[in-house]
A and B are shown apart, each in its own frame.
Chain A
Amino acid sequence: MSLRAVTAAASAAATRGNGDHHADDHGGVMTPTLYHQFEDVEQQNESYLVGMWTFLVTEIMFFGALFMAYSIYRTAYPATFLDAHKFLSIPLGTVNTLALLTSSFTMVMAVNANQHKKKWSLINWLGVTILLSCVFLGIKGIEYTTKIHEGLYPGSFNYARANTMYLEHHDGKAGHEAKGIYPYFPSVQELATGYSLNRITPEDPRAVGVEQTPAGPFTSYQGAPSDVEYWSKRAQLFFSIYFAMTGLHAVHIIIGILMMGTLILLALKNHPYITQDYMPTEMIGLYWHFVDIVWIFLFPLMYLIS
């Protein structure tokens, strides 16, 4: 659908809204401020749309570079990514996905309300959207806190501690059961007694060329590259990418919340941006859908590796 068609459809929607006898429908035709550089409102609105989409292209490239880094490292170290991702909580991720998807829907409803000049409907839908994004950020905060508590943050990556805590969280299942989930993880007992490379099966690509000798205790390891060090670094890389991408995404969510808050304030003040125009809401809606779509890619790539 061309941009012109989109604008025409939106205008038609706005016109239809006039016949809608809703309680907070103030009716009347919208007359947005026409800025001096434009000939007419249609040109102005089309320019806004082209501008916003162009900006979103830059956003795609911004995140795209990180997605590329992710792809490269995941292709290089598939097994470690598979292992490391198991520290992420799929239920929490799923709730967050649902929250964001719903918030995209409520954002659409907010834009629709603005086009129909329903002030309180707009404020309510924006409020729900903000609420859902706060739910998202809250859950993200819980996840981050857990990761930091477990020592799974870059720079002071403590995978042994994470493993111990994981076992505690899973009703203290025995080491061999944990090994079922983490085939390359040493158990707590092994860490205490010294971890040996001999556990690597011959099929493991990392076994090639590795000297099959005990590598010494993990905690005071000083010598040549061992399996533990190898695993730690690569798993740390997974969490580097995880924090970089979800962190950048969270910053975008916060910016979105601030912009939606501004819209609510403008609506409360009966500002012409809201009463006579719907493009500001529409633009922020486009931005919000973009933020949502980024998460739609992040969720399977981070949480659902298999």
Chain B
Amino acid sequence: MSVSAFDPTGEPWPDRGGGNAAEPVEVGIPRVNYLNADHTIKSWLLTTDHKRIGILYLISISVMFLLGGLSAAIVRLQLTAPSGLLLSAEAYNKMFSSHGIIMVFLFLVPSIPATLGNFLLPLMVGARDLAFPRLNLMSWYLFIAGGLLTLGALTFGGVETGWTFYTPYSSIYSNSNVALAIVGIFLAGFSSIATAVNFIVTIHKMRAPGLTWFRLPLFIWAMYATSLIIILGTPVVAITLLLVVVERVFHIGIFSPELGGDPVLFQHMFWFYSHPAVYIMILPSMGIISEVIAANSKKRVFGYTFVAFSSVAIAVFGFLVWGHHMFATTQSMYASMVFSVLSFLVAIPSAVKVFNWTATVYKGSVEFSATMIYALGFLGLFTIGGLTGLYLASLATDIHLTATYFIVAHFHYIMVGGAVTGYLAGLHFWWPKMTGRLYPEFWAKLSAIILFVGFNLTFFPQFVAGYVGMPRRYAFYAPEYQIWQVLSSAGASVLAVGMLIPVIYLLWSLKYGKIAGANPWGAVGLEWTTSSPPPTTNFHEVPVVTWEAYEYHPIHDDDKDLTIPSPTAPEVTAEERKA
């Protein structure tokens, strides 16, 4: 029997490299783990265990994703007819604003860091918990409080500003729900700051002995870069949105032309955070893709240091490009030219990542598992999203394309095709670690493919609609655009099916899934050396790391009959095999 990359018996990968074979790990669900250590509701609501907080976040953001998805569904339904199917213009404004606000602030920003990051970061660095477990719990409560406030404002009254809260829409031309929604987002921002502080301290101070910076999984590098952006960016959007509230309440008019201020300053301060925030959403996904591609190709990530530093480079460059959101405002032409050039520079670290992932797959022993299908989907969709971003970073083309469906398609390719696909890949990849059970592989593959098809059908037509001139955020439109809108809405229903299937089988697997064992994928990394689900303290003893990251060895067709794929295994020549 050849060694399968997906050994469901839970046997650990036999060779970790450097002669450091992993300890044999027990198969089956450990009798006491973090999930069943205590059963009371109180033990969940007052937990300081990073794994349980990760699960709390997972449940909360799944609800947010559902709500944001529902508003998207209503938006797509409305747009099937040029004169609108359901909503008045005002209700339509509220609906797409709900979609954007919920998806950006309450789903995408916390999605990977607060769920998978919370769960995995201490496991991956070999720590018993994050540095500040109570702060971690507080961050969840802040998120819930902020989320409820925002949802309340969106539900009872609604907000018509779009997710960007541009002044004077948000200050002069809107109702007081804006203030409530903004306070909610302010609280959610504090929650992500708390998470980021925790991550930075944990990565700096709590790595296991021997786990040097360049032995860290790339997911940790991505989390570090993400935390840096959160630390430097979130406070700026917090004060910016707060200034909108004080303008509404106290008439402090820093953004109000009536009071002497300048509304474009709001855009500058908003995008100073909100452009880097795009990297808050995509960088964690990139970290996941590194892990998933390496594990599914059984190969060390090509150019590890380049991929690691490209995360940091994206974080740094991300802060220098916000002006490309304002090419069509009063921003000076020279500033726009500088921002345009800097925006092009972001393509470099992004391309470094894509090429290195591709090179990782090359000559690996690739397993087309569900997680790999998600990862390959990510590569394609992210590349399309990234390259169309260059159209928008160019001054001349941006004037034509800005505020059209082209932009909508571009950022959905990054946010859904990139961030959400990566999130789903990661959720599947570490689902056995979180729950101790395997999901049904067939259904997972099927939904990954449906998702890919549905996604492209939804958003590719929007590129065309935007290119031929359909503006975004319009409740009604000229009939010649209907074909693209109908295609897009049809794709959205396929996409919805692709999102719902995982919900069903993942819940099903909680009870009926196969027992995963400690390391169902034969992956390396400290998180796979502990049982699934892990005990409350993560490791029974502090792990000592003596191996490099991604010590995988690809199994080639030539040596499939070798039971132990190891560089020290004797060469088997063709003649010997015949004999």
Contacts and interface: CB of A to CB of B under 8 A. Distances in A.
A50 interface: yes
Contact of A51 (B131, B233, B258): B131
A64 interface: yes
Nearest to B537: A36
Contacts of A66: 239
A54 B228 CA distance: 9
A34 to B, nearest CB: 12
Interface string B209-248: 0000000000000000000000111111011100100100
B363 interface: no
B507 interface: no
A243 B201 contact: no
Interface string B247-259: 0001111100011
A65 B239 contact: yes
A66 B193 CA distance: 19
Interface stretch (B59-67, B122-130, B515-523): B122-130
B253 A240 contact: yes
A46 B246 CA distance: 38
Given A54-B197, A65-B269, A69-B269, A244 B254 contact: yes
B260 A234 contact: yes
Contacts of B253: 154-155, 236-237, 240
B260 A237 contact: yes
A1 B233 CA distance: 27
A50 B205 contact: yes
Q: Is the interface of B mostly helix, strand, loop or mixed?
A: helix
B189 to A, nearest CB: 10
A51 B254 contact: no
B232 A61 contact: yes
Given A50-B205, A236-B253, A58 B200 contact: no
Interface residues of A, number: 40
Contacts of B35: none
Contacts of A236: 253, 259-260
Nearest to A61: B235
B254 A69 contact: yes
Contacts, number: 116
B542 interface: yes
A241 interface: yes
A61 B258 CA distance: 27
A227 to B, nearest CB: 14
Contact of B251 (A73, A154, A248): A154
B260 A240 contact: yes
Contacts of A62: 235-236, 238-239
Contacts of A38: 131, 206
A72 interface: yes
A10 B287 CA distance: 38
Contacts of A243: 250, 252
B260 A50 contact: no
A95 interface: no
A240 B261 contact: yes
B132 interface: yes
Nearest to B266: A69
A38 B122 CA distance: 12
A195 to B, nearest CB: 19
B265 interface: yes
A46 B204 CA distance: 10
Interface residues of B, number: 44
Q: Is the interface of A mostly helix, strand, loop or mixed?
A: helix
A36 B254 contact: no
A237 B259 contact: yes
Contacts of A177: none
A155 B253 CA distance: 8
A105 interface: no
B133 interface: yes
A37 interface: yes
Interface in A42-83: 43, 46-47, 50-51, 54-55, 57-59, 61-66, 68-69, 72-73
B365 to A, nearest CB: 38
B182 to A, nearest CB: 15
Contacts of A156: 251
Contact of A37 (B130, B254, B272): B130
Interface in B4-60: none
Nearest to A232: B260
Interface string A236-254: 1100110110001000000
A65 B261 CA distance: 15
A51 to B, nearest CB: 5
Interface in B120-147: 122, 127-133
A39 interface: yes
A233 interface: yes
Given A54-B201, A65-B239, A237-B259, A37 B128 contact: yes
A233 B260 contact: yes
Given A55-B193, A237-B254, A237-B260, 12 more contacts: A37-B128, A47-B205, A50-B204, A61-B236, A62-B236, A68-B269, A69-B254, A155-B251, A234-B260, A236-B259, A244-B246, A244-B252
28 contacts: A37-B128, A38-B206, A46-B205, A47-B201, A47-B205, A47-B206, A50-B200, A51-B131, A51-B197, A51-B198, A54-B196, A58-B193, A58-B235, A59-B235, A61-B233, A65-B236, A65-B239, A65-B272, A154-B253, A155-B250, A232-B260, A233-B258, A233-B259, A236-B260, A237-B254, A240-B252, A241-B254, A243-B252
